[in-house]
Amino acid sequence: MSSPDQNSSDSNVAVTAESPGGEDARSRILAAAGPVFARSGFDRATVREICGEANVNVASVGYYFGDKMGLYREVIRQVHERKERLFPTPGESKTDAAELLHSVIRTLLSRIFAGDSSGWESQLMMREMMQPTAIFAELVQESFRPLFVRLVETFRRLVTVEVSEHELEQFAFSVVGQCVYYRIGSGVIQILVPEPSRQKHYDIDSLSRHVTGIMLAAAESGRGLQYKHALRVNPSNLTPFNTLPE
């Protein structure tokens, strides 16, 4: 018995009709694993539940992916691939910078919210963000950075007064933060704003226009960095977060 253990799109394996659920065992495991990992997190998820949902024996995950972590890596890889294909990072071809900004924000929100109605795909990404596993750094470089630099470039074109690089980056983070929060904080929002209003005003279209409007106003006014005021600051608490908790 030899384990394939690596992904191979086309091999010599005959694709015969499988018992229940169609597809081969490997694909069924992969499909079942995503939602489970997203719902329960890597630790709380059990290979028994995944295999049960995929109608395969528990030993199959060891056979096809080496171990539980191998399966997890493959799930993350596949999600990133699908997101990039469905919502590619907008090129800088657009002449109107404002329109480009809107397009980027819309792409970001789409990546965050689109997919299976349960939203397991971005739920998974958010988890990676908060509790980085070994593949986190790689994920950031390949998935987050391109959209981030596109945001920075867009703000460079938008801003009227002269600003330094770190200010442009903070503008970009302000965009990302707002968008991400509508997923992360969806539980909070559900409690804080009642149903009818939430149903009406919290779709991708409304939100992207809202965020775009805010950032355009900030960029054009040259504010966002110049707010200084006579303020009684809370002493201490000037510590930057140069160290990650873990």
111 binds, among DNA, its own copies, none (CB under 5 to 8 A by kind): none
Closest contact distance (angstroms) between CB of 4 and DNA is: 5
Cα separation, 17 vs 113, in Å, equals 34
- Which one, 69 or 86, has the nearer CB to DNA? 69
> Out of its own copies, DNA, none, which partner does residue 161 contact, by CB within 5 to 8 A per kind?
none
Least distance (Å) from DNA to the CB of residue 45? 6
Decide which of its own copies, DNA, none touches 181; Cβ closer than 5 to 8 Å per partner kind: its own copies
Minimum distance from CB of 98 to its own copies (Å)? Answer: 7
Burial class of residue 134, CB neighbours in 10 A (0-12, 13-18, 19+): exposed
Q: Minimum CB separation from DNA for residue 143, in Å?
A: 25
Which residue stretches of the chain are H helix?
25-44, 47-54, 59-65, 68-86, 97-113, 120-130, 136-139, 145-158, 165-184, 186-192, 195-201, 204-221
Report yes or no: 224 and 218 within 8 Å, Cβ to Cβ. yes
Burial of 83 (0-12, 13-18, 19+ CB in 10 A): buried
Cα gap 243→246, rounded to integer Å: 8
Q: Which does 57 bind (CB under 5 to 8 A by kind): DNA, its own copies, none?
A: DNA
Cβ proximity to DNA, 131 vs 226, nearer residue:
131
User: Cβ of residue 71: shortest distance to its own copies, in angstroms?
Assistant: 18
Sorted by sequence, the CB contacts under 8 Å of residue 169 that are 6+ apart come out as: 152
- Name the residue nearer to its own copies (CB basis): 25 or 175: 175
Q: Which amino acid is at 133?
A: T
Q: Residue 49: which of its own copies, DNA, none does it interact with, CB under 5 to 8 A by kind?
A: DNA
- Shortest reach from residue 10's CB to DNA, in Å: 12
**Which of DNA, its own copies, none binds 184 (CB below 5-8 Å, type-dependent)?**
its own copies
First to last CA, the chain: 40
**23 or 167: CB nearest DNA:** 23
Residue closer to DNA, measured from CB, 69 or 149: 69
Q: Say which residues have a Cβ less than 8 Å from residue 158's Cβ, sequence separation at least 6.
A: 97, 98, 101, 216, 219, 220
Looking at the Cβ atoms of 70 and 119, the one nearer to its own copies is 119
Q: Which residues in this chain contact DNA in the complex, by CB under 7 A?
A: 1-2, 4, 11, 13-14, 16, 18-19, 24-25, 45-49, 56-63, 67-69
Residues in the chain: 246
